[in-house]
Amino acid sequence: MTQNTELIVLHTTKFGENSLVVHTLSRDYGRRSVLVKGAGKKSMMSLFLPLNVLEADILETNKSTLFTARHLTAKHPLLGIRNNMFKNSMTMFMSEVLYRVVKDGAYEQGLFEWCEKDILLLDAIQTDFSNFHIRFLLELTVALGFSPESQDLMPFVGEHYPAVEKFMTLPFADSMLIPLNGAARNEIAEEILRYIEYHTESSVNVNSLKVLRELFA
């Protein structure tokens, strides 16, 4: 059986000489890893950059839980991201968080649509996006079903709660203008990650956060 669907790239793992297992968030299957044969070719590698949104035909089989993806194409060019070092680093961080937090096989209603919307928003925004990953983390908690409340969040963010509360209540454009220095921004991101770890019982040791620390210091 073959089904056309859309996939958001979270992570890739080399498989054999010239293939990849692409760990994705899909519109129809939720968190799903798929095999892409021949993906090791240089001409295809750009398809599998973090948070690329792909259209693909998925070949389902009873012989394996690892489905095969064929006829992959990029749904959006995302030039606003790919031509910006800071935004590329954000997509590395965001995709790694999703890869570690959303369990393989899990399906969260509306999660794909929310992720795609956020990817396109990051692609389009021109300036003042240094706070984007903090807003992303807070909205992720809502998408996963444990929307943060003050009493629940306070033990994790401590002295940063006034700033975090602004992120939760201000419109998006205003939240991008919340004045934070690099140290505070990094601390808030780490604190929200601990909050997500607590609720998902996941180990969210995000390596790409180190890159963001350096870029937005």
- Do 50 and 108 fall within a single domain? no
Burial call 123-156: b when 16+ CB within 10 Å, e when fewer: bebeeebbbbbbbbbbbbbebbeeebeeeebeeb
Q: Is the pLDDT of residue 160 over 90?
A: yes
pLDDT of residue 156: 94
Domain of residue 197 covers 79-215
Residue 217 has pLDDT above 70, yes or no: no
Residue 64 has pLDDT above 80, yes or no: no
pLDDT of residue 40: 67
**Confidence at residue 170, expressed as pLDDT on a 0 to 100 scale:** 95
For residue 71, pLDDT over 90 is answered with yes
pTM of the model: 0.93
Looking at the structure, do residues 16 and 85 belong to the same domain, yes or no? no
CATH number at residue 85: 1.20.1440
Q: Please give the structure tokens belonging to residue 116.
A: 């795609």
Last residue of a domain, one of 74, 98, 132: 74
Assign residue 48 the CATH number of its domain. Answer: 2.40.50.140
Query: In the prediction, which pLDDT does 191 show?
Result: 94
Q: What per-residue confidence (pLDDT) applies to 93?
A: 93
User: Where on the phi/psi map is residue 105: left (φ > 0), alpha (ψ -120 to 50), or beta?
Assistant: left
Residues 177, 149 share a domain = yes
For 167-193, the pLDDT digits (tens) are 999 999 999 999 999 889 999 999 999
Determine phi and psi for 37, rounding to 5 degrees: -75, 140
pLDDT band of 34, cuts 50, 70, 90? very high
**pLDDT (mean) for 55-71:** 88
Tell me 158's DSSP state. G
**205, 99: one domain:** yes
Query: Strands 2-15, 53-59: parallel, antiparallel or unpaired by DSSP?
Result: antiparallel
